[in-house]
Amino acid sequence: MQPIAPAEPVAAGENRPPDWWKSSVVYQIYPRSFADSNGDGIGDIPGITGKVDYLHRLGVDVVWLSPVYRSPMDDNGYDISDYQDVDPAFGTLADLDELIAALHGRGMKLVMDLVVNHTSDEHPWFIESRDPLSSKRDWYWWRPARDGFEPGAEGAEPTNWGSAFSGSAWELDRNSGQYFLHMFSRKQPDLNWENPQVRQAVYAMMNWWVDRGVDGFRMDVINLISKPARFDDGPVGPNQKYSSSFAAIANGDRLHEFLAEMNAQVGLTERNLITVGEMPGSTIDTARAVTDPANRELDMVFTFEHVGLDAKPGGQKFDLHPLSLPALKQNLEAWQVGLADVGWNSLYWDNHDQPRAVSRFGDDSPAHRVNSAKTLATVQHMHRGTPYVYQGEELGMTNTYFVDIGQYQDIESVNYHADAMSLGLEAETVLAGLAARSRDNARTPVQWNDSAQAGFSTGQPWLPVNPNYVTINAAAAENDPDSVFHHFRQLIALRKSHRIVVEGRFELLLPEHEQIWALTRTLGRQMLVMIANCSSAPAALPAGAVPDLTQAQVLVTTHGASTAAELQPWESRIHLLG
């Protein structure tokens, strides 16, 4: 990694008052699929810069970029070979400086994806680490074969841990005869955070980006950086060859120490930078400790519990299970209550790792797609926390529903299919799971207009455009005052104009109701009441279930101002009392 002089700090980027992120809305961009400026079929940074005014019209405050660093792209950029350069597929550092300036010039901020649990195996640190005599050998997790086994033999891996992307979490390096740990792809070796030199190198890199004008970090699987003191075998479930390594590794004993040290070394709190940690397998108690301002660690975490409720217990994410609305409501309520007085919630339905929200939690049929996308947004934005909007969510973009494994590019999906076929699972069932849950559903190009390739590129896109782009696209949405796009604009504007949306105390109503999601937010003498029918059938509001709304002001609605007790399919309303 060659050190590069940072650009002059952008003054607007320093305009970060304390807790500014609580009243903000974050928009996630998956650069590969957002906008292609040069016709090579891959989205790039100049393409993003060309859409900054669109984001400004939407009203979002923060743009979070998935990785644009130099990378071999084994996992689409989450395998980084140089933390201080931009991959040529996305542009240059100068292009990124222009994007930062364009955002800051419109009062918006930029969050970079921080991927420091692992690097690429093509990173200079790891290349040097391959030499057993190197001073960087201890920058990664190297282990000999299991006692009594020859390196490379079946079962010789140091532990039975499995990778999140299928197979063993250990890869043999034949030159040294030892194995290295990789929680994800074999081209993503895990860094050894026990080594203080590793941590200092990471902090130096983070400071370099902040000095360049970045306003914060989204931290990829950050709760995996603290590994256990002992590497022991874990339990193996039925039809599984390997143990879940997440269970063994997540939320290690030194996690809080490492996060607090990072905060201090980079000045995350002092500089009012926004920080959110992706933390699979974390509990409410862990998240509460991490986001407690007194501990000076992170501002928010991404919880995963609510996006696991539609998978069979103990199974893979692709093992589909009917979603219970009461279970979903009560899970989010637990997080709302658990972090109500200490800490802060992040609010999301989908992202680059999840299928499209309207296809998963809503109804993406032509009859209900628009209203279910609007109502899901209403529910999300009326909870307490910082909302995250994933690119295309504001358009009601849907899953693509690929029907052949050859259409998939996601490494997780391709590996799962191979493993499932080797175990003799039914091909139709496996493909149905992928069609519903594959990460590629979120990664098809953003649909900008009804021209060729949805206006994403003049070339052949790296992943096929969803055929429904002809009717679902940004140009049509901006021109339709009743579109999903304009509903999102209303919700974002409501956050700016009403303190109660940010600060109001949360209470869930009708927790057991199978169709209706209702809640209140209370601040002083004001009460905000949200009522949403989260089903494709009419729903009757039980008598006395919500406060009397006859004198309430209707703020945002999907079906016009009404206080009727009968809710239409996917109808939602936000009322204000006081």
Q: Is 250 helix (H, G, I), strand (E, B) or coil?
A: coil
Looking at 75, 82, 215, 220, which residue is catalytic? 220
Q: Give the whole-angstrom CA distance, residue 19 versus residue 128.
A: 41
Q: Give the whole-angstrom CA distance, residue 64 versus residue 390.
A: 9
Note if 278 is an active site residue. yes
400 close to 437: Cβ distance less than 8 angstroms: no
Residue 339 Cα distances to 305, 330, 565, angstroms: 15, 14, 32
42 close to 48: Cβ distance less than 8 angstroms: no
What DSSP string describes 373-392? HHHHHHHHHHSSSEEEEETT
Tokens coding 231 = 């590497």
Burial label, 67 (beta-carbon count in 10 A; 0-12, 13-18, 19+): buried
* CA of residue 440 relative to chain centroid, distance: 14
Looking at 190, 278, 297, 364, which residue is catalytic? 278
Q: Give the whole-angstrom CA distance, residue 109 versus residue 103.
A: 6
Q: Which residue reads 């939407």 in tokens?
A: 58
Pairing of strands 553-557, 82-86: unpaired
Tokens coding 344 = 């802060």
Give the largest Cα separation in the chain, rounded: 77
364 close to 350: Cβ distance less than 8 angstroms: no
Backbone dihedral region for residue 506 (phi beyond 0: left; psi -120 to 50: alpha; all else: beta): beta
In the chain, DSSP finds a helix count (H) and a strand count (E) of 17, 22
Q: Give the whole-angstrom CA distance, residue 85 versus residue 311.
A: 38
Note if 571 is an active site residue. no
- Strand 572-577: give its sheet, edge to edge: 505-509, 516-523, 526-533, 572-577, 553-557
Active site residues: 220, 278
